[in-house]
Chain A
Amino acid sequence: MTLMRKCVPVVIGSLAAAACAGDGGKGTSPPPPPPSGIVLVDSLPIPQFYGIHDQFVRDGLAFLCAWNTGVLIYDVGNGLKGGSPAHPMLVGSVVDSGGEAHNAWWFHNPATSENRYLFVGQEGPGAIGASSSGDIHVMDVSDLTNPQEVAHFHMAGAGTHNFWMDEAHQVLYAAYYNGGVVAIDVSGTLSGDISSRMLDTVSFGAGNTYTWGVQLYSGSVYAIDMVSGLWHLNSSLGTLGSSGGGNNEAARFSSDLWVANGYAYTGTWDHFQRTGLAGSLLKIWRLNASGAPVAEDSILVSGVGAVSDVEVSADGKLLMFSTESGPNSGFWFYSLADPAHPTLLDKYLISSGVHTATFATIGGRLYAFGAENPNGAALIILDVTGLDQ
């Protein structure tokens, strides 16, 4: 059962903790608000073609998935072009053969010590909950200033969404909406059509499968499905099998996930309210001894259409999610001092909404990168080091 917090901190923002603690505390002055731990570092305009959808940041390079503009590679601290989070410098760009660049993963292959391939997800047209389209495109980024598409993966009747890479074993896990979850062997040299490299696939039943995202955690793959909720999948070098969870969120459609600290954090997608409930949830799941998710808590965010992306910082201390379509759209940051019950630290609202957000540590500081929706599409870069205590 999902437990709803009685104290709804998100509505009142930074003062939430104080307000909750001070319920009924007449006659005492509320403590002053804490100094904001969020600093806007840069807002990088992106061509509105349609704009920026997602970003992957690694080794001081930001791979911006800018839809029909393709993938833009920026130096945000790598040193290649002298860029920094405050002054991103364009290194190169590439337009995937289908356009609609949605997400990316820069593959660091420990077997070959190469960082040669960038996997780009194309999100084609789809009817949410029923159909989808779009391939995985493989870019050779050996020359970051001149990336080239060298391979692609196509799955008939379905389109790809978010990825996770088991780099140690060279297996790419991809959510495939109505196609469920797909595992692909990405070892060695990739060229041409790599559809035959599919190792396994799993779905959650007809009319019950529309998988948003996947993550590998402690040897298991976790999949969040918009229709059927959070699943725990056994995984062994690309072989997939359902192990636990699933069919555990019927009131709302689910969105993104992140797994850390023995807990899973998932969002809900309420652009169409499944049962008429307003607002969106950040749900917290405890992973039991077998790794299966058990609902632990939830946070209701009013005034939004979706919790559109979820991530936990590498040190496990800071939870971030993005929201869009409503007056409370933007970045939300929570302390994971108690990972079962996150507490609001701060938020950074952007009226046009933030579609995706990701953390990156650069030069010893923690940054949040976010994709601001059009009109006004931009890469938003926040220094949130102050929150990560």
Chain B
Amino acid sequence: MTRRGAGLLALVLGAAGGADAQRPTVQWGAQAVPTLTETNIVPGDRSLGEARVLLPVAMLHAAAFGGRLRLVATVDFEKYTITHGELAPGNWGESFADRRHPHTLVHELMLVGGGPHVFVAAGKGFVPFGTDDPMSRPAVLFPVNHHLSQILERAVALAGVRVRWATLEGAVFNGDEPLSPGSWPAWDRFGDSWAVRLTLNPMPGLEAQASYAWVHSPENRPGAGPDDRKASISTRWARGRWYGEVEWARTSTADGFFVFPSMLAEGAVTLSRHRPYLRLERSDRPEEERVFASRFRTRRPLFENSILGITRWTVLTAGDALDLHRGPVRYAPFVEGAWIGIARVGGGVFDPTTFYGREHGASITVGIRLAIGMTMHRMGRYDMTPAEGSTPMHMPMDHGERSE
């Protein structure tokens, strides 16, 4: 076996970490978020409450050759805990509506290699586009713009170049979205879509990015659906006690026939053990035919390319988490509320008053973040040597022990 092969084997086998930077290291972690959510934005003019375990994930990060070769793996067990999705007004995508879809079991499995100036990555994971996955941000309920601002769970190959405080990434991937929590990308579609992202870190804590993606037929796996052109610009601050982000995103579908813009601003501050946070969002989403079996599901694959209309969701979310720990287990009870407004945009038959019985409503979520081991990384970034500004934000529970 060659020396390189031996090193790779050691990486895969996950030799215990040590102080020697050249030796393979392994970090692991796990989390789950039991929650209870109640909302009156429900099809059929009613209220609905549900208890679910959200974001049950296990993470493994391994590194070798002084960090020049890394494995990033995240297993998401939502397939088992939210088989029918998470009650989340305004969320949409992957045949779910007003429920967040469960992520795929193999959420990330990326091999990353390179140095401080050039890096490459390949596997299943995030496309270098847009902002961090909401899973690694303060609010528990996802924003409406998840499918406008992130592209994830794809077979992706990316390369990045870093010059001083600028990083340019480019990637090719498969355009098709997952069909179910157990599905894998359509391998024969690998390379039919692409994305580029420029990230600037001009000073510690400050990050700005602009990205663009062309996604072929995301909602029709055989490729018969319309294509998306996606753009995203954001500025992020994460330093000390403060975190804040402002983003603009826009998805243009079918050569601009449909356009879905999004604006989002969010922030959080650490006050002793408290972590209050706020998010304001205005995002447009397509309204699609709901299937007979569930008013929370839409038809996949798409038949035609028509929609029922477009709705604009204005959501103000506020919450507070309390960071605690007992031994190696970190836990953060939280409460999160949202005011939700829904408006029709540009005609179409979809009428929120008919469908929900209202145009304004609210949701309330209580729960507890449970975690052990490593803290959650910034999902959506595989930079080899992130600048200080792109290090993980201070999330609830970050004060705990790490198993490095």
Interface residues of A (CB under 8 A from B): 47-51, 53, 67-68, 100, 102, 123-133, 207, 226, 253, 271-276, 303-305, 325-327, 355, 373-375
Q: Tell me whether A127 and B305 are in contact in the complex, defined as CB-CB below 8 angstroms, given that A271-B289, A325-B289 are known contacts.
A: no
- In angstroms, Cα B110 to Cα A90, docked, is 46
Find chain A residues with CB under 8 A from B220 CB: 50
Interfacial chain B residues near A273, Cβ < 8 Å? 354
Q: Which residue of B lies closest to A276 (CB)?
A: B354
User: Which listed residue (B289, B299, B347) contacts A131, Cβ 8 A?
Assistant: B347
Jot down 21 A-B pairs with beta carbons below 8 A, ordered by A: A48-B222, A48-B301, A49-B224, A50-B225, A53-B303, A100-B305, A125-B254, A125-B306, A125-B307, A127-B306, A127-B309, A127-B348, A130-B348, A130-B349, A131-B257, A207-B347, A272-B350, A274-B349, A304-B292, A305-B291, A325-B289
Within 8 Å by CB of B347, from A49, A51, A53, A130, lies A130
Q: State the CA gap A355–B308 with chains docked (Å).
A: 18
Count of B interface residues, CB-CB < 8 Å: 33
Pairwise interchain contact A125-B226, C-beta atoms closer than 8 A: yes
How close is A243's CB to chain B, nearest CB, in angstroms? 27
Q: Which of B292, B301, B302, B310 contacts A127 (CB 8 A)?
A: B310
Complex Cα–Cα for A131 and B348 (A): 8
Given A50-B301, A133-B257, are A127 and B308 also a contact pair (CB < 8 Å)?
Answer: yes
A291 to chain B minimum Cβ distance, whole angstroms, is 29
> Please, which residue of chain A has its CB at the minimum distance from the CB of B310?
A127
For A275, list chain B residues within 8 Å (CB). Answer: 354
Known: A271-B289, A274-B354. Contact between A126 and B306, CB under 8 A?
yes
Residues of chain A lying within 8 A (CB to CB) of residue B223 = 49, 68
B residues near A274, Cβ cutoff 8 Å: 349, 354
Residue contact B348 to A128, C-beta cutoff 8 Å? yes
- Residues on A with beta carbons closer than 8 Å to the beta carbon of B303: 50-51, 53, 355, 373-374
Q: Which B residues touch A133, using CB under 8 A?
A: 257
Q: Are B258 and A125 in contact (CB under 8 A)?
A: yes
Does B240 interact with chain A (Cβ within 8 Å)? no
The complex places the Cα of A326 from the Cα of B309 at a distance, in Å, of 22
In the complex, A123 Cα to B299 Cα: how many Å?
18
Q: Please measure, in the bound complex, the distance between the C-alpha atom of A207 and the C-alpha atom of B287, giving whole angstroms.
A: 18
**Smallest CB gap from B225: residue in A:** A50
CB contacts (< 8 Å) of A130 on chain B: these are 309, 346-349
Give the chain A neighbours of B287 by CB distance below 8 A. 272
Contacts of B291 in A (CB 8 A): 305, 325
Q: Does B27 contact A (CB under 8 A)?
A: no
B253 within 8 A of A: yes
B304 within 8 A of A: yes
User: Contact string, B207-251, partner A, CB cutoff 8 A, digits 1/0?
Assistant: 000000000000010111110000000000000000000000000
Residues of A within 8 A of B310 (CB): 127
Interface centre among A127, A271, A273 (most CB of B within 10 A): A127
**CB pair A128 B309 closer than 8 Å:** yes
Closest-by-CB residue of B relative to A68 is: B224
Set of chain B residues within 8 Å of A124, measured between Cβ atoms: 254, 257, 305
1/0 contact string of B164-205 vs chain A (CB within 8 Å): 000000000000000000000000000000000000000000
Complex contact B258–A327 (CB within 8 A): no
Can you list the 10 inter-chain pairs with the closest CB atoms, starting with the nearest?
Answer: A130-B347, A326-B292, A129-B349, A127-B348, A271-B289, A125-B254, A125-B305, A50-B224, A125-B257, A126-B306
* A275 CA / B354 CA spacing, docked (Å): 7
Inter-subunit contact B292/A272 (CB<8 Å):
no
Report chain B residues within 8 Å CB of A276.
354
Residues of B283-301 at the interface with A, using a CB-CB cut-off of 8 Å, are 287, 289-292, 299, 301
Given contacts A49-B222, A325-B291, contact A128 B301 (CB under 8 A): no
Please give the distance in Å from A299's CB to the nearest CB on chain B: 19
Is there an interface contact between A303 and B226, defined as CB atoms closer than 8 Å? no
Cα of A125 to Cα of B222 in the assembled complex, Å: 18
Quick one: closest A residue to B306, CB to CB? Answer: A126
The residues of A that contact B222 with a CB separation of less than 8 Å are 47-50
Assembly CA distance A127 to B284 (angstroms): 14
- A-B contact sample (10 more), CB < 8 A, given A50-B222, A128-B307, A128-B308: A49-B224, A68-B223, A126-B307, A127-B348, A128-B348, A129-B309, A131-B346, A226-B349, A271-B289, A272-B308
Query: Pick the contact of B289 from A48, A272, A303, A375 — CB < 8 Å?
Result: A272
Question: Across the two chains, which residue of chain A brings its CB closest to B302?
Answer: A50
Q: A50-B220, A50-B224 are in contact. Are A127 and B347 (CB under 8 A)?
A: yes
A178 to chain B: closest residue by CB: B347
Report the minimal beta-carbon distance from A217 to chain B, rounded to whole angstroms: 27
